Chain A
Amino acid sequence: MAGQIVTITSGKGGVGKTTTTANIGTALAMQNRNVVLIDADIGLRNLDIVMGLENRIVYDLVDVVEGHCRVRQAMIRDKRFPNLALIPAAQTRDKDAVSPEQMIELTRELAEQHDFVLIDSPAGIEQGFRNAIAGAHRVLVVTTPEVSAVRDADRIIGLVEAAEIPPPQLIVNRFRPEMVRRGDMMDVPDVEEILAIALIGIVPEDQSIITSTNRGEAAVFDLYSPAGRSFKDIARRLQGEDVPFPVFEAPPPPGMMGRLMKALGFARV
C-alpha cells in the first residue's frame, strides 16, 4: 500500500515547521515506520542541520529533479534509524529550480516505498509553498498562538483548500501555559475558533528544542523534553491513534521545593 505524503507548512516563518518535520519524522521512525523527509526550502535549507546530517550531503532535491542522480543517491540515511532518510534542499539554487509537477512525480515515487513522505515547506505563499503542497495527500499547518502567525496560517489554509487538498490539521507550537493563564497569550481554543480546522497537536515552549537543534538531534530522543513528548503524540495521531491532548499547567513555583522536584523529574509542564 502506498504511503502518505504529508506537507508541513505554516505561512509565517520561524514558527517551527522544520523542527516539527524533523521530530515527527524521527518519532515515526522510532515507531517502526519507513520515513523519508524532503526539505523543500530551496536556497535556505535547514532540515539537514536539525537532523545533524549536513556533512553528509552529496546530492540534493534539485539534482534529483534535474536528473543528475537517482533518487536513492540523494537520500541520506539517518545516523540512528535505517528506516529514516532525508533528501536535502539545494542551498545554491532558489525556489524556481523545482516545479510542482516534478514534486508530484518524486513524492509519488517515494510513497511507493515508504509509509510516510514528510515535506518541510518554506515560509510564504509563493512558488516554494506551491511546490511543497503539490503532491500532498494531507497537510499539517503549524502556528504559534499569536496574532501574526494565526493570520498567516489562515491565509495558508485558504490556499490549501483552494488546491483541493483535504482540510489541513493544526499544530499549535510554542505554547506557554503561564502566559495563557495571565491572559497574555491566546489559548488553543481561541486559535481553533479562528482557523476552524481539526487540532492534531499542541507543543509547549521548550528550551530543549534549542539544545537538541544545536546538537543535530531531534527532541524526541530526550525523554524529559515536553515538546518531544508532544511530537511523539502527533506521530501517533498521524497513524490514526486517538491520543488525548495533555492538559498543560504552569511551571512549578520557584523556590527550593520547586527546583528539587524539577531536578528529580517531577515537574509538571
Chain B
Amino acid sequence: MNEAQMVLPRIVVRGTRDGLVIVLPERGTTREVAISLAQRVASAQDFFNGADVVLDYGTRVVAADELTILKQVLEQRGISLRTVTATGFESRSMIRSLGYSPLSAMPQPPQSGAPELVQYAPAAPRDELPVRYVRRTFRSGMSLHHPGHLAVVGDVNAGAELTAWGDILVFGALRGVVHAGVLGDTAAIVAALVMTPTQLRIGNVYGRPAEAHPDEVPGAPTMGEGPSIAHLDGGELIIAPWYGGRDVPLPH
C-alpha cells in the first residue's frame, strides 16, 4: 500500500496561547504518524516555515526512537521543536528523561472556541487563503469560524464572535469579539469601519480596546471611531485609524 492510499492517523494542529501545538494521535505506528505529520506540514509549508512548535503526545506512549524520527521530520521542513509535552505522569517523566520540559499546564485552546482543525487548507500564502464573504449583521449570540480570510458587510454586534485563520474585515460596526490569525498568525489584521470591539484577538494576543475609553455612556456607540485597522507590532496590539491614501505599516 503506498502512502497515498493509507488511511493515516489524524494529526491535530492547534493555535494556543503557547503558540502552535501539534497533537499526536494515540494510535498508529511510528511510520504512519511520521508520514501523516510530514503530509500535514507539507500541505501548509509556508504557514509552518520557521515556526517552532510544541509536540503534544496527549495519551500516546512516548518512545525515544519515535520522538527522534518525528523531530527529524519537523527539522527537515524548517520547523524547530520548542518542547514536548503529554498528559500522564509516566509520559511526562519519559519526556523529562529525554531532555525536554513538559508544559506545566495543558495547552489552552484559544478562548474563542475555534474548533480543532480536521483538515488543513492547502499551501496558503496570505493572498491565497480562501475568503468567505458574508453580507449580514451578526447579532448577539451568533458566531462564525472560517479557515481563511473573513469579509463581513454588516455589523458584528456585542455578543457575536468571529474567528478566522487569516484576516477579518468588517464593513460595518465591530462591537463583538473577533479573533484573526486564530492558529497563531501574528501578522493577521482586523479592519472595521467602526472599531469598538468588546475584545480583539490577533494570533495569541488579546486586547481590550474599550477600556481605553471610560467616559462613554455604557452601551452607546463610541463617537469618533472611524475606519481603523488593528495589527500586532512587536506583540502589542495597535489600532490605527485609516486616513485613506496614507499607508498603515502592516506586518508582512
A interface vs B, CB < 8 Å? 125, 146-147, 150-152, 154-155, 157-159, 161, 183-187, 190, 193-194, 196
Contact B219 A158, beta carbon cutoff 8 Å:
no
B140 → chain A, closest Cβ, in Å? 4
Contacts A194-B175, A196-B155; A154 near B220 (Cβ below 8 A):
no
* B217 CB–A CB distance under 8 Å: yes
In the complex, A128 Cα to B133 Cα: how many Å? 34
In the complex, A125 Cα to B155 Cα: how many Å? 22
B interface vs A, CB < 8 Å? 137, 139-142, 155, 157-159, 173, 175, 217-221
Nearest CB to that of A152 among chain B residues?
Answer: B140
Contact A190 B217, beta carbon cutoff 8 Å:
yes
Contact B158 A151, beta carbon cutoff 8 Å:
yes
Contact B217 A183, beta carbon cutoff 8 Å:
yes
Contact A151 B220, beta carbon cutoff 8 Å:
no
Contact of B139 among A147, A154, A184, A193 (CB under 8 A): A154
Nearest CB to that of B137 among chain A residues?
Answer: A196
Contact A155 B139, beta carbon cutoff 8 Å:
yes
A150 → chain B, closest Cβ, in Å? 6
In the complex, A151 Cα to B155 Cα: how many Å? 14
In the complex, A186 Cα to B155 Cα: how many Å? 19
B155, B218, B220: residue with the most chain A Cβ atoms closer than 10 Å: B220
In the complex, A161 Cα to B139 Cα: how many Å? 10
In the complex, A151 Cα to B159 Cα: how many Å? 7
Contacts of B137 in A (CB 8 A): 196
In the complex, A191 Cα to B142 Cα: how many Å? 19
B141, B158, B221: residue with the most chain A Cβ atoms closer than 10 Å: B141
Q: List 11 A-B contacts (CB under 8 A).
A: A147-B219, A154-B140, A155-B139, A155-B141, A155-B159, A157-B139, A185-B217, A186-B217, A190-B219, A190-B221, A193-B173
Contact B141 A158, beta carbon cutoff 8 Å:
yes
Contacts of B221 in A (CB 8 A): 190, 193-194
Contacts A194-B157, A196-B155; A150 near B219 (Cβ below 8 A):
yes
Contact of A146 among B173, B175, B219 (CB under 8 A): B219
A197 → chain B, closest Cβ, in Å? 10
A150-B219, A194-B157 known; 11 new pairs, CB 8 Å cut-off, are A125-B141, A147-B219, A151-B158, A152-B140, A154-B140, A158-B142, A161-B139, A183-B217, A184-B217, A186-B219, A193-B173
In the complex, A161 Cα to B140 Cα: how many Å? 12
In the complex, A125 Cα to B137 Cα: how many Å? 19
Contacts of B158 in A (CB 8 A): 151, 154, 194
B172 → chain A, closest Cβ, in Å? 10
Contact B217 A155, beta carbon cutoff 8 Å:
no
In the complex, A185 Cα to B173 Cα: how many Å? 21
In the complex, A187 Cα to B221 Cα: how many Å? 11
